[in-house]
Amino acid sequence: MTKRAFLELVSGLVGWPALAPLAAWAQGERLTNWAGNLEYGTAKLHAARSLDDVREFVRKQSKLKVLGTRHCFNTIADSAHGFLWLGELGEVVALDSAARTVTVGAGMRYGQLCPYLHEKGFALHNLASLPHIGIAGACSTATHGSGEKNGNLATAVSALELVNASGDLVKLSRQGGGEDFEGAVVGLGALGVITRITLDLRPTFTMRQYVYQDLPLSALKDHFDAIESSAYSVSLFTDWQKQRLNEVWIKDRVEQERPFDAPPEFFGAKRATRNLHPIAELSAENCTEQMGVAGPWYERLPHFRMGFTPSAGKELQSEYFVPRPHALEAILAVERMRDQVTPHLMISEIRTIAADRLWMSPCYKQPCVALHFTWKQDWPAVRALLPVIERELAPFKARPHWGKLFTLSPSRLRSLYERLPDFTRLSRTHDPQGKFRNAFLNRNIFGA
């Protein structure tokens, strides 16, 4: 596709601010990730128009990466050779009401799919902090939300179609794919081009969101389990200062036996009297409705609203998954580093994620707590700090988020994934010559 044709295409997709950098690229500017901290190694991008187009393109290239919605902060999606973009293949393929599944084209974003599902009477089990991201990229990197009983977003995947390095279409499913399916879902973009994804559904539900301010750290120490299990999804935000957690976001389902009753005080924290942004100084206009106003699941599970800039914008992010039994120890280890961390921090978020069976998921066979850092966009400072944090979290076998910034050595990273040998074998089955491997995958996964 020529840049002119591409520009015509994206200009038709108004209301998708995340596409703005792609439109800028089409007008001759640099091709960068969402946060702008990374300029990709090439500006060559082919926008696929059909499955046949994907297959033909893959056959012809010796090296390529699929570019999703560009929300990764590290180079996992980067290419020195060329990108394939599936944004045009973002349609609902089939809604199976009886089986409670939906199959979508891999260019679909959560923000596009969710209102459709709700209208049809269905819901997904969970969402990330933002609905702007593509489903394929999110699942490929084990993107997660929060909730003691909620697995990451990839746990909803029940089938995948992907084009392998030969250009052949491979179909994998939970029912038919056995172990290899569990290896392919969090595939890190290493197995091929995902063209369709099938997701598990549940009946649609209504939620309420409440925010509490200033939870004493002592209350967290004494009541961590009770706080985390108080609602369907709980997020704690902190700048690690003043022995308190700045905000507690509680997202609860309305139609359940014992809904969250929203007392004025929650373990010493006070119920907020207006909508808040996780970074209290920023406008809450970007945020989903709070104050207990009931609304559909997809307008309460994410923190940020579709059509608005999520988070802060110009930022960096890192996140570490710690096995749930070590949650408090890990939180307190970071708290002890507060005076090193806070100067470079916008906000931290603490979430819980249920265990799963996906080989490359940080929550493989272990429920986790995720310690997230939204940093000011100062990479030299953050790069100097990350090894300090990683050293403190090492006793807990902390695993970094696949799409965020980390400095862990490749050998250490590989040692944290017991199914990594199986994953590299599976990748080589679909991509023997490493067509879909880039420098990130070679270094961190394949040890090349």
Ligand X SMILES: Cc1cc2nc3c(=O)[nH]c(=O)nc-3n(C[C@H](O)[C@H](O)[C@H](O)COP(=O)(O)OP(=O)(O)OC[C@H]3O[C@@H](n4cnc5c(N)ncnc54)[C@H](O)[C@@H]3O)c2cc1C
Q: Give least dist CB 107 to ligand X, A.
A: 7
**Strands of 92-96's sheet, edge to edge?**
92-96, 101-105, 193-200, 157-163, 169-173
Q: Give least dist CB 302 to ligand X, A.
A: 8
332/402 Cα distance (integer angstroms): 24
104/396 Cα distance (integer angstroms): 38
- By beta-carbon proximity to ligand X, the closer residue of 267 and 364 is 364
Rg, Å, the chain Cα set? 21
- By beta-carbon proximity to ligand X, the closer residue of 70 and 244 is 70
DSSP 360-391: T-TTBTS-EEEEEEEE-S-HHHHHHHHHHHHH
340/61 Cα distance (integer angstroms): 46
- By beta-carbon proximity to ligand X, the closer residue of 193 and 279 is 193
Largest Cα–Cα distance in the chain? 62
- By beta-carbon proximity to ligand X, the closer residue of 201 and 301 is 301
Cα separations (Å) of 254 from 116, 208, 227, 233?
Answer: 21, 7, 18, 13
Q: Give least dist CB 436 to ligand X, A.
A: 8
Q: Give least dist CB 178 to ligand X, A.
A: 21
- By beta-carbon proximity to ligand X, the closer residue of 124 and 138 is 138
- By beta-carbon proximity to ligand X, the closer residue of 267 and 431 is 431
Q: Give least dist CB 160 to ligand X, A.
A: 9
The counts of H helices and E strands in the chain are 13, 20
Q: Give least dist CB 257 to ligand X, A.
A: 28
- By beta-carbon proximity to ligand X, the closer residue of 66 and 231 is 66
Helical axes 327-336 vs 379-393, angle rounded to 10°: 130
Q: At 432, list the tokens.
A: 């023997």
Name residues whose C-beta falls within 8 Å of residue 132's C-beta, 6 or more positions apart in sequence. 17, 18, 69, 71, 109, 110, 111, 304, 306, 310
Q: Give least dist CB 311 to ligand X, A.
A: 4
Q: Give least dist CB 248 to ligand X, A.
A: 16
Q: Which residues bind ligand X (CB under 6 A)?
A: 34-35, 65-72, 76-77, 86, 106, 128-130, 133-134, 136-138, 140-141, 143-144, 188-189, 193-194, 310-311, 401, 403
Q: Give least dist CB 31 to ligand X, A.
A: 11
- By beta-carbon proximity to ligand X, the closer residue of 110 and 267 is 110
Q: Are strands 92-96 and 233-238 parallel, antiparallel or unpaired?
A: unpaired
Residue type, 220: L
Pick from 439, 407, 410, 429: which is nearest to 65 by CA? 439
- By beta-carbon proximity to ligand X, the closer residue of 208 and 303 is 303
165/193 Cα distance (integer angstroms): 9
